[in-house]
A and B are shown apart, each in its own frame.
Chain A
């Protein structure tokens, strides 16, 4: 009997098209897998905050009917998907992993969700994340952490740890994540999955509960480069409801991935970012990185060092701009119109209720960033902090522009280390922030990036990730180069890296 949860989305699409399986069967298989391994806050992967079995099966049934009538809505019609709990889903709880939105059921769908539904992908449920997408480990979820399927004592990355874990634990073939400073790419790296942050504006943000609007981007989390390309094509494109979305046709990402899989990179110039490897990077991660560079050379690419001197300021810049925008976005959560409300004893004023609700509803990391952001925007400090950060952001963008005049793509390890232990960095915010060192520059400049698994670090046997960055709107290069490297790696391994992930014990849900 075929284990449908082990297949890639592309393989599932082909099986559906060939009539080998129905969407209801596929969806049920994944729901069964979720029931077996996902568990809860105390045990199991805990990738999901909300599983919508009924909704997913209804969508699957509709998909089967379309296919029977010979009119599938898309190539991926019927392939189930998981969605990060930061995107609004009509009629399905959306909490952003925060207590403050506990029980909130949006009256509308995010544009990406709308597109998934229109394309016929049954939505299995909403995945766990750091509260309001603030974190690099999914330990800041108000509903308990997600665990890394490779080692359940370790973090799955963040903030999109739920989406990455769902994909790498075979609970969902596809997932949607969001990436503000690396929240798609870093979790993908530490769970052995593929994650793409599209060009800023490449995918609509409408319905994405904003952390930092000028940095946030929705993107795919999958097990292969081709699957990401297929999903990216579905969710990309202009949205009249998001004026920052790019008004241009969606390029043929899947074609680029298929072409890249042939493995020929002759003529490609690859730039290794000097500032993003070396000190502070785990030895095993660097070893896998250097091997990947050799594979690129073997495929015909020329590899050179490229310096981006302003990148050393990227982290500081990010941790001023992001909280500034977040502080403004989060002010609306006042417990008056939706979400939880905490009413103190006695005869409280509206202000007392808001204060108590926010105190109970927001976690420590969220409060920390609201305070930083409020401070950075305040009139006496605006120029010194927010204003300066915007200037450095411009310098980082210029570094990218200069680098892309010399090379076609830039590369680095995605994350400086493999997955660390749950709880290890919880009391040290700065150590936590350092995990996004390599991913943040792309968000500041709005350029696209992909992380794909490039092996296991020798010292801990955990996945490491390889990051490829391209100029804005040149996402096709990510798929072409990523697929070529993926093909070379899998040839060496004799199959996908995830095949080496441990079988998960069933948990009592």
Chain B
């Protein structure tokens, strides 16, 4: 087993597609943002000191018992409804018995043959061959409730994995946090668009989850985790090929890359006469490859049986209908509405969504920025930074509120666009709010006539030829002097006022 992830032999993607049809399957775990855990009253805050948010139940101490968190059930139903699922009239939890070092009960309380939500679908929008948006229907098999495990920290050893570690530390703060696992049916027929469909599905699912307000939906913190199943079958065959399951892919970009990588890896193996090993695989963000995890056969014996400590969950139809009535606007419908409100062209809209910035732009506008300004910052400066650093645009460390504030500072002429970029840099670097960055870095535009006048005089003196031209009425030449003043003022001058001063002085 390779732990570091060296690239396997890959096949060119076009060649793969000429011979094989890919089938996708996505399992997305959503960590709910309930105040308390799935089966006990412990708090769920992220990042707390290890083992400070625990009790006998989530530590699995002898004698402790679970009680279902009603808020988590409600969230599960809302997710199910938003995914057009049927909601079970009666369902149960089951014990999934297996050993895992950071699972304190030695079984996970989950749902097995009786999920709370099943048989749904989601229409995802991808870019069609003609460049126009195209819908692709992803069918949902089930959405079920379960609990998260704790987290292990393997100390010593080169890889951070358990093999070779000197010892392991376990943090049970995450043990028992409510999870919803959303499982698709095999997604076939996406062909060359399989990587895009996978990404679009996870992206839209994430938007939906955010719209429902049931999770922080932060992929980098693991509150949304995607497992990507992929198999290839010779073109024209009905039967699915052997699949691999790439675990815990933690960014949208990686979802797309992981699908593409596995397609090319499977293609190379199959074309070489080999067969695919059914196994779980690890995704390596840095190298963009997957490596073998543990072999997983279908016959894995979890010895499921109904959890005897929990009474069945039987949501009344009245409650389900109440929850249906309070669902937020579907993000797809909402997008069409907002596009009209904002006056964006189709292309602008598509770029905004493509950059994963739709929610950010929306929030920035909600915070008071003009639509085009909001779009400009996120798709310009922020998208550039995201591309350069490989950090998701949502995870850059700057919020829509910050951006709205920066635009407000521009509108108030406290800073100009150029200075705004430095403010953005400062905010991302953690130097504080936009105002604080302006203050700390001394970035405010100078419109004080005293300081500007001196700089203008200096520029006139240094450029007598240009000054003469302006005196002769060639006002367009003022640009050169403005440039000199700006340089002198390190960009912090109010360009409009500088121009006025130059013309005043030379007329």
Q: A residues bordering B, Cβ < 8 Å?
A: 87-88, 94, 96, 101, 104, 106-108, 110, 205-210, 212-214, 240-244, 324-325, 327-328, 331-332, 334, 337-338, 350, 374, 377-379, 382, 386
Quick one: which of A209, A212, A240, A377 contacts B62, CB cutoff 8 A?
A: A209
Give the chain A neighbours of B305 by CB distance below 8 A: 324-325, 328, 377, 382, 386
Per the 8 Å Cβ criterion, residues 289-343 of B in contact with A are: 299, 301, 303-305, 308-311
Q: Is B451 on the interface with A (CB-CB < 8 A)? A: no
Q: CA–CA, A88 to B55, complex, Å? A: 14
CB distance from A495 to the nearest CB of B (A): 39
Q: Establish whether residues A243 and B106, one from each chain, have CB atoms under 8 Å apart when the complex forms.
A: no
Complex interface: stretch among B93-101, B261-269, B470-478:
B93-101
Quick one: which of B97, B101, B310 contacts A243, CB cutoff 8 A?
A: B310
Give the chain A neighbours of B97 by CB distance below 8 A: 327-328, 331, 377
Q: CA–CA, A74 to B63, complex, Å? A: 26
Q: Is B454 on the interface with A (CB-CB < 8 A)? A: no
Chain B interface mostly helix, strand, loop or mixed? loop
Q: Is B105 on the interface with A (CB-CB < 8 A)? A: yes
Per the 8 Å Cβ criterion, residues 56-90 of B in contact with A are: 56, 59-68
Q: Establish whether residues A243 and B107, one from each chain, have CB atoms under 8 Å apart when the complex forms.
A: no
CB distance from A446 to the nearest CB of B (A): 12
Give the chain A neighbours of B304 by CB distance below 8 A: 377
Q: Establish whether residues A328 and B67, one from each chain, have CB atoms under 8 Å apart when the complex forms.
A: no
Q: A106-B63, A209-B62, A337-B104 are in contact. Are A244 and B301 (CB under 8 A)?
A: no
Q: A242-B67, A328-B107 are in contact. Are A106 and B61 (CB under 8 A)?
A: yes
Q: CA–CA, A96 to B67, complex, Å? A: 24
Give the chain B neighbours of A379 by CB distance below 8 A: 299, 301, 303
Identity of the chain A residue whose Cβ is nearest the Cβ of B299 in the assembled complex: A379
Q: Establish whether residues B95 and A209, one from each chain, have CB atoms under 8 Å apart when the complex forms.
A: no
CB distance from B10 to the nearest CB of A (A): 36
Quick one: which of B60, B64, B99, B303 contacts A207, CB cutoff 8 A?
A: B64
Q: CA–CA, A379 to B311, complex, Å? A: 24
Identity of the chain A residue whose Cβ is nearest the Cβ of B57 in the assembled complex: A241
Quick one: which of A96, A205, A327, A337 contacts B65, CB cutoff 8 A?
A: A205
Q: A243-B311, A334-B106, A374-B303 are in contact. Are A106 and B65 (CB under 8 A)?
A: no
Q: CA–CA, A333 to B366, complex, Å? A: 54
Give the chain B neighbours of A243 by CB distance below 8 A: 65-68, 309-311
Give the chain B neighbours of A325 by CB distance below 8 A: 305, 308
Give the chain B neighbours of A242 by CB distance below 8 A: 65, 67, 309
7 A-B pairs with CB atoms under 8 Å apart are: A88-B63, A210-B63, A243-B66, A328-B95, A332-B104, A338-B61, A377-B303
Q: CA–CA, A325 to B299, complex, Å? A: 21
Q: Establish whether residues B62 and A88, one from each chain, have CB atoms under 8 Å apart when the complex forms.
A: yes
Q: CA–CA, A214 to B311, complex, Å? A: 11
Per the 8 Å Cβ criterion, residues 219-243 of B in contact with A are: none
Give the chain B neighbours of A240 by CB distance below 8 A: 67
Q: Establish whether residues A331 and B63, one from each chain, have CB atoms under 8 Å apart when the complex forms.
A: no
Q: CA–CA, A110 to B63, complex, Å? A: 7
CB distance from A31 to the nearest CB of B (A): 26
Chain A interface mostly helix, strand, loop or mixed? loop
Give the chain B neighbours of A94 by CB distance below 8 A: 62-63
CB distance from B121 to the nearest CB of A (A): 30
Identity of the chain A residue whose Cβ is nearest the Cβ of B307 in the assembled complex: A213
Q: Establish whether residues B65 and A101, one from each chain, have CB atoms under 8 Å apart when the complex forms.
A: no
CB distance from A238 to the nearest CB of B (A): 12
The 7 residue pairs across chains A and B that have the minimum distance between CB atoms: A331-B106, A214-B308, A213-B308, A377-B303, A209-B62, A207-B63, A88-B63
Q: Establish whether residues A96 and B301, one from each chain, have CB atoms under 8 Å apart when the complex forms.
A: no
Q: CA–CA, A386 to B304, complex, Å? A: 11
Q: Establish whether residues A244 and B62, one from each chain, have CB atoms under 8 Å apart when the complex forms.
A: no
Give the chain A neighbours of B67 by CB distance below 8 A: 240-243
Among B107, B301, B305, find the residue whose CB has the most chain A CB atoms closer than 10 A.
Answer: B305
Q: Establish whether residues A208 and B63, one from each chain, have CB atoms under 8 Å apart when the complex forms.
A: yes
Quick one: which of A104, A108, A208, A382 contacts B56, CB cutoff 8 A?
A: A108
Q: Establish whether residues A101 and B104, one from each chain, have CB atoms under 8 Å apart when the complex forms.
A: no
CB distance from A397 to the nearest CB of B (A): 15
Q: Establish whether residues B311 and A378, one from each chain, have CB atoms under 8 Å apart when the complex forms.
A: no
Q: CA–CA, A154 to B269, complex, Å? A: 70
Q: Establish whether residues B309 and A332, one from each chain, have CB atoms under 8 Å apart when the complex forms.
A: no
Contact with A along B15-26 (1 / 0, CB 8 A): 000000000000
Q: Establish whether residues B105 and A332, one from each chain, have CB atoms under 8 Å apart when the complex forms.
A: yes
CB distance from B76 to the nearest CB of A (A): 17
Q: CA–CA, A350 to B154, complex, Å? A: 13
Identity of the chain A residue whose Cβ is nearest the Cβ of B67 in the assembled complex: A243
CB distance from A361 to the nearest CB of B (A): 13
Q: Establish whether residues A244 and B309, one from each chain, have CB atoms under 8 Å apart when the complex forms.
A: yes
Q: A213-B309, A331-B99 are in contact. Are A106 and B301 (CB under 8 A)?
A: no
CB distance from B138 to the nearest CB of A (A): 30
CB distance from B267 to the nearest CB of A (A): 33
Q: A213-B308, A325-B308, A331-B107 are in contact. Are A241 and B62 (CB under 8 A)?
A: no
Give the chain B neighbours of A386 by CB distance below 8 A: 305
Given contacts A88-B63, A106-B61, A244-B310, list 19 more A-B pairs with CB under 8 A. A88-B61, A88-B62, A94-B62, A107-B56, A108-B64, A207-B64, A212-B308, A213-B308, A244-B308, A325-B308, A327-B303, A328-B97, A331-B105, A331-B107, A338-B61, A377-B305, A379-B299, A379-B301, A386-B305
Q: A107-B56, A331-B106 are in contact. Are A378 and B63 (CB under 8 A)?
A: no
Q: CA–CA, A206 to B309, complex, Å? A: 10
Q: Establish whether residues A96 and B62, one from each chain, have CB atoms under 8 Å apart when the complex forms.
A: yes
Among A208, A241, A386, find the residue whose CB has the most chain B CB atoms closer than 10 A.
Answer: A241
CB distance from B28 to the nearest CB of A (A): 26
Among B61, B62, B64, B311, find the residue whose CB has the most chain A CB atoms closer than 10 A.
Answer: B62
Among B59, B67, B68, B303, find the residue whose CB has the most chain A CB atoms closer than 10 A.
Answer: B303
Q: CA–CA, A378 to B66, complex, Å? A: 24
CB distance from A336 to the nearest CB of B (A): 8
Per the 8 Å Cβ criterion, residues 98-122 of B in contact with A are: 99, 101, 104-107
Give the chain B neighbours of A209 by CB distance below 8 A: 62-63
Q: Establish whether residues B107 and A378, one from each chain, have CB atoms under 8 Å apart when the complex forms.
A: no
Give the chain B neighbours of A104 by CB distance below 8 A: 62
Q: Establish whether residues B303 and A350, one from each chain, have CB atoms under 8 Å apart when the complex forms.
A: no
Q: Establish whether residues A350 and B56, one from each chain, have CB atoms under 8 Å apart when the complex forms.
A: no
Q: CA–CA, A88 to B95, complex, Å? A: 23
Q: CA–CA, A205 to B303, complex, Å? A: 24
Q: A243-B68, A324-B305, A379-B299 are in contact. Are A206 and B63 (CB under 8 A)?
A: yes
Give the chain B neighbours of A378 by CB distance below 8 A: 301, 303
Identity of the chain B residue whose Cβ is nearest the Cβ of A244 in the assembled complex: B311
Q: CA–CA, A205 to B59, complex, Å? A: 17
Identity of the chain B residue whose Cβ is nearest the Cβ of A108 in the assembled complex: B56
Give the chain B neighbours of A350 by CB distance below 8 A: 101
Give the chain B neighbours of A110 by CB distance below 8 A: 63
Q: CA–CA, A453 to B107, complex, Å? A: 42
Give the chain B neighbours of A101 by CB distance below 8 A: 62
Give the chain A neighbours of B311 by CB distance below 8 A: 243-244
Give the chain B neighbours of A328 by CB distance below 8 A: 95, 97, 106-107, 303, 305
Give the chain A neighbours of B107 by CB distance below 8 A: 328, 331
Identity of the chain B residue whose Cβ is nearest the Cβ of A208 in the assembled complex: B63
CB distance from A40 to the nearest CB of B (A): 25
CB distance from A9 to the nearest CB of B (A): 25
CB distance from B170 to the nearest CB of A (A): 9
Give the chain A neighbours of B56 by CB distance below 8 A: 88, 106-108
Q: CA–CA, A242 to B105, complex, Å? A: 17
Give the chain A neighbours of B299 by CB distance below 8 A: 379
Identity of the chain A residue whose Cβ is nearest the Cβ of B103 in the assembled complex: A332
CB distance from A351 to the nearest CB of B (A): 9
Identity of the chain B residue whose Cβ is nearest the Cβ of A351 in the assembled complex: B99
Identity of the chain A residue whose Cβ is nearest the Cβ of B56 in the assembled complex: A108
Give the chain B neighbours of A241 by CB distance below 8 A: 65, 67
Give the chain A neighbours of B64 by CB distance below 8 A: 108, 206-207
Q: CA–CA, A337 to B60, complex, Å? A: 10
Give the chain A neighbours of B62 by CB distance below 8 A: 88, 94, 96, 101, 104, 106, 209, 332
